[in-house]
Structure 1
């Protein structure tokens, strides 16, 4: 634990101007980023009596070994630079409102020839429109099922779309009129895109005009005595109204706003956001984060609750809308990243600068305010109740987890004779099939919980033919060689004038390294660490058969009680490593098997093999394609396509490929062959399956 007075800068050396500051640890890594109207006043508050600081702030200043700052001209520039540095350095003591990928959205792939709506989780992509987020994926599917009656867009995957294009028959949705069946040419690409645009307009809030248009068409059909069409339009109107009922009107004036609310205690805070578009709640999301009290925010005289709340609002709006601006830049047509209004429970101290920054992101004026009366106040109270409920549920879930995990870590420390509890555990597992496609996984658990962002995969090359023991030694050498390199680089940076501050991928060593296996595997891992000079990492092996814990170079294992939390934790770590390794191995094996029939084709390298398999989905479907279809794959010319066709079909295929007429077996209008009638090729396919 460092003494903050050892690196405290002299007050006269700190400028009395707005800027952004960074605290660094002994290795030069940035551990905290903050902004201030006055750098001198703000930084001075960090070096007050430690007993008066918030526990999180006290831990930060005692972990740091230095501080530097950058002066800017305005508070808006400080906001921009603070967000940029938090994103670049990922400081461990900054509260991060990371976008929870578990929230599903409705994505519409406008970048495809035949766009399709589908449920999606993950980062935004260019050319795709997104609607949501929704709390549950079933809510999207239920709404989409209603809308497909009115907007029959295709919802199938590209693989299914190509398959039905080849067989010339639509899927079930095409037969029940919930898909316009562009796969078989029932509708042109432009007409299908018009249907998808209308769907996007409806999802984007243009609901009333869409319903009125259908009602007018229904009345016109009735006047023309076309009662069958009028009945269909009547059912379409009913479907739209039912879909609209699922999105309750909360603001009668059609307001576009994000309503933000917090519930917090001394250590944690829950935030909930309701996205209101056109007066209707279009989505909801929430986070639970650690409270990071600003040590200088109280200098203006606010009480503690208001100070913490204002700090939470400031941090959340900066990070959340900074992320939304990046997503909007990557995704065409997703709308502005900031709504017209942002309703918050308290205004931060620099609300004017924050408003100016949000207005710059939107491109027009943004109103950030606290609702005082009326419907907006009522909605804000509803969102606040949701935040309070989320915090209470989080505490209930975490109470049991934290108690069990703390007991497990304490038991591991006791049973294995460790100096401290193993707060960071890493586990290595090897996966292969009879010595082929040897891969390894490394999973990370911190405080007894998985940290999936730091999982790593390894392809074993040098030691693959020597068995699991040599493979584990190779993984340990590669992992800790990177750790030693990152440590050396951080030391060199800290000796220079300016350190990079960004932690490497292998920057933090584990307290305990677990390998899947018994004594030989544990000894191999320990020897690899010793060769690198790493002496502060404990190593054990966990054998599957009897769940024995093997220390390296020991004749007898450590037997943990069967009902102990420590054994359960080790099993969880080992099983997670096994799952991650098997998943990687199956991916590599499936790619190798899929491309094996293409081995030896002249002029066909790995890149073209991958492109062909990705385009057709399998070698079986590639065999069903003609030369023209193969040549249509990006990167594959006609000469290469003819070579591939010949290799897959033999001399007869060569004759067909070079024939002037089209191959009837591969004409789009030809009926599919009956599986099982060919005693050679189809029989071979069955054996492969």
Structure 2
């Protein structure tokens, strides 16, 4: 009997999105397949106290040895994919979901004189059109109920149909307009069959032309002032659109295709493949690979095709192969696939429709696979140790850098210049140690000067903290303020069972490490040789020679060292480069977050707000034209009039308002009352950033 905690996924690994999951036993056999609106919440239910589980569930989780999942877009997709996997793997613990029968289909009996729409199970019959399968019969009935408003096909049994024909009165559906009542001759057999065939065409996906025809009829009725008929057609269109909600996992009946998606970053790539046969997802596979060479998405696709079909039998190559990017040499690859299959193979990028939707689903699974791989890689102690050793060897350090600090500068065209400091200890982010800086000494796009300033300020504080502890007797410490305390949520996020490297260094009255009391073994700056030289110069000016400095340039991921003409190039598969990249990206994200916050506050409280008659558009035009309030204050009335929409009277009001506006005072910590002059503590919430500001 296995212990479920031995294979329980770690917190944060399971996505909070719809999907389908599989439990496997120790031999790799699938023993249970389920679906969920939220994979995270559903899987958490299986890993609670065994005494609280249903006996069957308890037996299943103790028999299983692993769990895996696939992310989908909607619950409908999850329903369809769950069926595909249950039919494929026949899991022993899924018996109760079979309803003691096979899965239900929506069937149209075209082999009868008056075709009937009904729910069917069991073996398929000749002359009957089948749609589905569906997970539940009620799902079919809901779809049919919506469709009968537009396609009033017969749904009654043979007995009811015969009885209505004998008495000359239709059933209830005939009276309420959801049946064309062929039993009493309201419609001929030919017309009723045509109606049933339209129903089948709509269910197979040929919906656009029919909906456009209904919309034109609705517009014509409205123009002719037949508003009741137009309203009825409007309701019919709405009913059809609701019925059109179908799974992107299900394609046309005869579709045989493989869909390949790629998720990648600078160092790694994840490939996911969905095998579609007969319009159904029949299989899924994928892998994560290191990018040991500089390769594009097209190159990754070509490698995936080679690995996927290189040793497969010819009948394993489908008619269509859908990819996110075409190989550079499309024709040779397509010819190679066609030769392996023995007939023509289409290699293309899906542009619209269900295939594009399904490709998006495959892409989400690739992103999830890459994120899961990164989570496992970052949390592995052996991998982190190897990364630190590789960094020490590449940079020529005497010991591994247990504490790494990374600095980045962010601004918007020279305004609101800020800097960030992030800390990684033992290869893991220590977010309670993050700091942020305002660069106030100058304006402009001078990242080198900004980097020199922020490095100098950070290590001046380090020397001051050591002086306070009695270890130094040099210049007096600057007044405290500006660092603040990290929030409780961030302390919890940064908690780690590893030994605390701050031990033995100055602490406050409550035993916590002082703000800048602990020096790093390595300082990483976001940039190349100029930024590295500025950082080294700042440390030399303070007499600090036991802290190593390097820079990581974004373009080619090169590592720069002080006073070196050539960069250190780490292999693409290097764990050390992967760690440096994560540190650099985190500093970049944190700097942009702070810069956007400052920019938002500045735009919300501008002296231009007080100018009467000056709207938002002209305020933005003025700021865009001059670049900053400082330059706007220095402008003349004539220069302001050059801005479109600004007249002389408005220009005079703007200058008068700016002349009377007092500069903004220092920020105040509302919790402590201290004036924030230099540095700010990291906020409690650290959310991911989108976009690039620089």
TM-score by length of 2: 0.29
Structure of higher CA gyration radius: 2
Which protein has the bigger helix share? 1
TM-score by length of 1: 0.30
